[in-house]
Amino acid sequence: MGYFDKTDQRLSMMQQMMRKTSTDLSQVSPSQALKFPQMVQKCLNCPQPEQCKTWLSESGEQTTAPEFCPNHEIMNSDLS
């Protein structure tokens, strides 16, 4: 998979994860929004995209990100 395809796929997965965890960047302070580039980088480098795809397709509405997600601490804290 090429870089742009991977980036598109991972950003789509991150968006789905944010929806499921009610993470809304439009509702956070500017200093909290600065975490977004870090979140993107963590998602792009995640070693478990298949587990993420499975979780996204099999989970219902969730309130917390799963522990395997490299962004779970951020999504489960002050950004949600």
Give 30-67 pLDDT, tens digit per residue: 877 788 899 999 999 999 999 999 999 988 777 789 99
pLDDT the model gives residue 80 = 47
Please give the model's pTM, rounded to 2 decimal places. Answer: 0.82
- Name the residue among 71, 74, 66 with its Cα closest to residue 45: 71
Please, which pLDDT band fits residue 79 given cuts at 50, 70 and 90? low
pLDDT, mean over the chain: 87
Q: What angle do CA 35, 77, 23 make, to 5 degrees?
A: 70
